[in-house]
Amino acid sequence: MPADSILLAGRPFPLGAHPEAGGVRFAVSAPPAEAVEVCLISEDGTEERVELTERTFGVWHGLISGVTPGQRYGYRVHGPYDPSRGLRCNPAKILVDPYATRITGALTDLDAALGYVGDPMHGGPSTVDSLGSVPLSVVTSPGGPDTGVKPEVPFEEAVVYELHVKGFTQRHPGVPQHLRGTYLGLAHPSVVEHLVRLGVTTVELLPVQAFLDEPSLVEAGRHNYWGYSPLAWFAPHPGYASEPGREVEEFRTMVSALHSAGIEVLIDVVYNHTCEGGPDGPTLSYRGFDAPGYYLHIEGGGTLDITGCGNTTEAGSPQFVRLVTDSLRYWTTELGVDGFRFDLASTLGRPGGRGFDRASAMLTAITTDPVLSRCKLIAEPWDATGDGYRVGDFGVQWAEWNGRYRDTVRDYWRGMTSVRDLAYRLSGSSDLYSDDLRRPWQSINFVTAHDGFTLRDLVSYNDKHNEANGEDNRDGTNDNRSWNCGAEGETDDAEVLALRARQARNLFATLLLSTGTPMLTAGDELWRTQLGNNNAYCLDDETSWVDWELPPEGESMLAFARRVIALRATSPALRQPAFFDGRTTPSGAPDLVWFRPDGEEMAETDWFDDGRRFLGMWIDGSTSLSRSRDGELVSDDSWLLLVHAGDEPLEVTLPGPEYGGRYEPVVDTTTADGSPATPGSFAAGAPLVLGGRSLMLLRVPG
């Protein structure tokens, strides 16, 4: 203990390390422990241990005077070591505070971090001291730069843009070299300008909570680039700071810059597993405090793995529910974020590893929290098991990544599905969400994401090409639903290249013109390729970084993306906040009508013709049910969307005068930037020729 310092009792809550009363109050949950020591680590590596003498509700706590912000620390836990019961207390292993708001150091010696000798299930505890080989916690003081006023973008107006903090700016020519790949790089005016001009309202950051490389990557000398391997759920990842130790301040600065531009910040949170892996993994934090309290276990002490990552957190544990909700509130209130995307969220509804329960303690705690209930909450509604696939099954306050949308739209444009399922996806997926009080904007529509092909690769490769990952191309999904348009990978064939660009425009336009919330993947608008790699999680190089030197195809795709996103923003009928229900509108027509190529409404039997590759969708704009920010209903023109996935041109007949007198082409995917190939307007009932594999949107002035 520092000279002249005093150990006082302190109090158990809030957990973590909090500067107060001339010192720091430490509190950590470790119910199985028989003794807990706070280890204060000096800059030269010297360790001073202070035993906490107070235990309340399984929380060990004490206030140590004379300790100040910036102090590095960890914990040593004395207690039962019995792998058959999942208990792995080992005072030789210095542990990261689960509530640490800053992390320093890395896992440099995997062997030293292992808590066992020999067999992980039957061997005894390791006596090797892990200090110097593992990360440490750092005491931080609250506060920092103002994060600005939250934009509070209505969900129905949102356009989500998924990006990687490092990869998005690492090659950006407008960002100073020392800021590339950092929080401040993302805050740079040249980067914010791109987001604003593109028209996105909400960025979704791949994991920014402090993470470590998994043991398998450490042994192979590789790194986890994506960040889905969490260590500390309160601490911003230190690797994205331009100046070591200032990650909290820099993260807040980034949020402020985006908020000033009217852009929300969501973060991808990974509460379903940790970087400690299975029983053979290292003891870095949670395993050493209370493994059964944090992880699902099976009989005999092994971990239950329904995430595919070696362990699964115990969503039914009160201390874990508290940790997750405390963490989420911290990111919302102290770091300014506007919402969260929950990785493998089905696990949070499976306490004890049982069947999914939308009313589980964890999911209920999140949605009923007075702070978190105001955030955007997005679930990835599956885990690594068949039972965990729960698209459409989450509760009323949850939006979901709609995997059904992705699969249907990909299949439609490669000619592998009919229009029946497509109609549901275009109109907000009412089959998944309308019967449980949810809204169409709770369908997060996407065609690509970080996990899988980029948009360019989706139309350029039939198969994955993941050899660079070092796993003999065994990793990554084989279910890509992609089509290379006639040649695998890079090619000089002009006809193939033209078809690829058109297919990409078809996919992108379908996404933006569908009812629901569109999510884009960073770089798709710049024609980014990963050369067919659909699982570049461990490639922190040019494969994953966005290339800002655009080829001509990239310039065209960017112009097209800006055009369609801007159109959506100014057209309330294309982003309605309520499901279509066939209601009669002032125009005298229903709010939504489906058409055949002959200009007649789809009949019941037409929907079961699996050979159909054309669909017309007429949307009435007179009562779009969209509202202004003040809550007033706003009207719009009506719209006609024509999608044609057949190879050959198709002559269609426009709907009759009861749906509008004139039809004005606005978006046409047969041109590079989406401008109409035939400007002007067409009369009701007139013939119109659609190019093979093309999409056209026509305005019907009200």
Nearest alpha carbon to residue 695 among 564, 600, 592, 582: 564
Q: Write a three-state SS string for 398-431.
A: CEEECHHHHHHHHHHHCCCCCHHHHHHHHCCCHH
Q: How far is CA 520 from CA 77, 405, 510, 675, in A?
A: 45, 13, 12, 21
Judging by beta carbons within 10 Å of its beta carbon (0-12, 13-18, 19+), is residue 245 exposed, middle or buried?
A: middle
**Residue 302: C-alpha distances to residues 122, 284, 355 (Å):** 11, 17, 20
User: How far is Cα 586 from Cα 623, in angstroms, rounded to an integer?
Assistant: 8
Number of other CB atoms surrounding residue 58 within 10 Å: 17
CA angle 144, 146, 148 (to 5 degrees): 155
Which is nearest to 271 in space by CA: 239, 305, 294?
A: 294
Give the whole-angstrom CA distance, residue 185 versus residue 179: 5
CA distance 695 to 314: 47
DSSP H helices, 148-261, are 165-169, 183-186, 189-198, 215-220, 247-260
Q: What are the phi and psi torsion angles at 172 (to 5°)? A: -75, 120
Whether 699 contacts 664, CB under 8 Å: yes
Per-residue tokens: 286: 């949670």
Choose among 342, 378, 343: nearest CA to 158.
Answer: 378
Q: Which neighbouring-strand residues pair with 595?
A: 601, 616
**Rounded to whole angstroms, how far apart are CA atoms 521 and 544?**
12
Cis peptide before 154 (omega within 30 of 0): no
Q: Which of 343, 451, 457, 620 is catalytic?
A: 343
H helix or E strand, kind and range, residue 7: strand 7-8
493 is an active site residue: no
Q: Which candidate, 206, 227, 224, places its Cα nearest to that of 215?
A: 224
Contact present, 666 and 637 (Cβ < 8 Å): no
Which residue among the candidates 97, 156, 314, 380 is catalytic per the annotation?
A: 380
The DSSP code for 393 is: -
* 334-346 b/e (C-beta count within 10 Å ≥ 16 → b): bbbbbbbbbbbbb
Cβ atoms < 10 Å from Cβ of 679: 9
One-letter amino acid for residue 86 of the chain: G
Rg of the chain (C-alpha set): 27
Is residue 380 flagged as an active site residue?
Answer: yes
Do 654 and 629 contact (CB within 8 A), yes or no?
no
Amino acid at 422: L
The structure tokens listed for 386 are 């068949």
29 and 319 Cβ atoms separated by less than 8 Å: yes
Q: Which residues participate in catalysis according to the annotation? A: 343, 380
